[in-house]
Structure 1
């Protein structure tokens, strides 16, 4: 990109330097220049300038000619002041740079403008930009010079304001050039990339040919789901029936075995016996004292009153407060002695008014609470109404979904027809694929060649910069070594009792100065000792004042505690506060109760509708359990009768068989 900037800048400056307004027009001169450049670049085949470069040359050249008067003000000032040693042959280059900075900076940007500057010599570019980008010069004599040529509005809006807007960013360029001239800019160290292995260039297999698209088969209508999908399988009913039959046969065998053999004795205690044993154990435990839970005593530090330590500021602040209260009380007593009216009736009236205000406030709080409960009940009723509306909407949405499904099927059929049409169009479009692929390969080859040429140029320029930097470093190293080899200066001895010999009134030797400093230090220590004594006296006086203030505070606090206890006793004897009664609050109570009753009725109706089916199932389950319990009780009674009829001899064998058979039956 820097190659392009250098080439375009040279072409613009050359085009401007060879222009003669008396001989040719602007367009004719640009056309002849482009044709000459194109003819000189031909090497066997045509290689003209790109269209974008031609447009850029035309715009820059025409702009430089159009605003040559405004640019001439800057160039004349530069050559008269800072550019006296600058060649006049470089004036077209500065002319082009002025035009780009004044009129094309918004389009190019600071980064692109910096690339144009880097194409010039560092010293010349710094000298020109340091003069051109001086804000004080722009707003003074440059603005006045432009004002003699153009209107003030054009100068302010088109020339000065855009340049001042970019001035802060543009001033970074001469600063960077200054550092580069002073060798403060460190060049970037070139790091060679590591060698990477490349795969072997084997013959790549030919890509698979694109298969011909097959016509999309017509999808057959899906089969509906079988009815058995939503019903229980027959195997579950068969298993349940088999379990019932097995249970029935097991019960018959159990009854037969119980009829012939003895049954097991019931070793469990009755409920009454267990209650008696429990009472005896609890009575014995109550007589024992070792298991009782003992609470831990309160720590001693919680029962003691811990005094609060106050600092000096708090003591003085509280003492000042109590002193102010005493002064006010004394003034009040003095006024009463002088005959001022007592304020007791006013205070009683004020207390009654505060009581009325409190009653009004309590009534407002109660009204707010009732309004909140009323809004809560209304919200619940609205939610129930919204639920019913949502159920109706669900039914309506199901109907709409069926109609949308029908529309979707029709749209799907149309899409299938459109896909078939696109497949036919694809067959026709693939015939021109080879030609497009060939054009793409040619364009990529040109891009690769251009990138390779730019990389070679960048490598060459980087090597040249590295060599120049190395030469500068070697020269600095030689200079540093020469300074290090030079001999060090020798110091002469100093006599502490001798003076400098300047014949001043305050002239003294170092020894005399030290003696004076020692005397000054002794005087300073004496002053510090006096100051320390005064501070100690002030501290003792302050401590005495704090002690007196603490005694006064203790007296006042004792009086305040006594008066607070009296007020508390009077408050306890007073009547409890009651909420005020009003017709509005009674009406709110009635509305809240009505809303609550309506909500409870609605909830009860919903609960009855939802639990009607569940209660019937629970009833059937209870009847079945009762039937099973009665059947087992009948078996127990049969076993007891059999035990009374037969002897004790075969009891153990029958009990063992009965136990094993019962375990098998329960597992089944």
Structure 2
């Protein structure tokens, strides 16, 4: 494709770029677009029109191939390029790859120089420098490698020297491009020495007028009646507190009395006796021997696997017993003398362990009795300290009351100042409130009118829909006539070899179902017979195992009786030990001493006790309230700084 008018190549390429931009924005069919473009280009010659249409169709056909180069070029030089020049680079890339041999270097250089020279130089340098590297790899992923190498890479490399000369020409700027703009000279301007306008004085703020304050009422300077009533109640409470304090000094306080009540002591002694009875130092085992007679235990239904395991265990035990008898017959040594000696050594060790355990138990009981006597002494000392603490709390309460009176006086003064300052703002707040109420009233009236109109429209719409639904229901309620002319004894008439009617099909299916039921019944009968045989075999094995277990249980019962006799003998020997007897005597002495201390305390408390009357109950309630009052006041004094 060689044209006779080289001077017009630049304008033709620009026309092709404009058509390409229009096609990408419209995104229509290519053939339709080219037909419309050919009708629009009737003003130019046929050769020029053919050149433009071929360039546009080629760019659209090889869009994926060209986008590999153009997208990478824009990604690397996005700061220096404009998106509107993308179609120019696409056309130049297409002409360099597919039409460079047809155009020749002269026409191609004319086209490049008619566009922006610096941008074209940048693009050609980027294209030819990366042609044999990643551009070829990307093209190979789209087309075959041999086709790319033969038709595109080799021709472009053959034109590489001429393209380098063209890039050198593009790199040298023209004199018209290098021409500088004329330098602007500075022009002097006169100073603006006008006098500034005088500032206007601000309007004075209005001073709000304060209403006259009400005079202070006379009740402010007189003590109220409630304070006198409170003082009288305080005096009565003080007298009651002194009476209760006197009674508490005569009798012990419940909160400071470390002595436990009779019911508590009885419960503690009962718990100790239960724990001592559970220890069972005189027996060899901590719990009873499990029952050896298996007949008394509840029956357990075993499955086949459990029965087989028991049978295997029984067979193994019988085999071991036969092997032991054979070894004895062949002259093996009997281990009974060694076992007897070992049994004696174990009995002697057991006797020593029981003696040490009994000794430790008695020593712990003695230490507990000594600790109880020490706790009584500590309780007496705590009562004295509690009395001193009460006196200190009374002093702290008096100081705290004085401090509270001063703080209340300061708060009253502060409240009077705040009320004086806030009184003037009440009138303004009342006006704002009335204005807001009037606005809210108007808005509510408008909203009610709009709601009423919306409800009327909704009601009309619902009536219209209800009428339509009634018409639909009336149409659906009409009966439908459905003729039924099906005969199950006739065939479908498709003229097939195995064609049959529905009635014949049902009969054949019934015969097949009867045959399957017979086969299933026969298989079930065979399975039941096999199960019965296996069950009989398992029952015979269980009878043999139970017979063997009864024999073993009888032997175990005889061994247990012998063991019990030996244990009773060991317990008698432990009870006759001298150290244990001495510790028991010491424990009895400690218990008697603690009993004497308890009786002495009871003798102190008994004269103070009275018969339970109504006054006694009231006194108990007063004691509880007084204790709670003291506790709360002490916590509050500690929290205050």
TM-score interval, smaller chain: 0.3 to 0.5
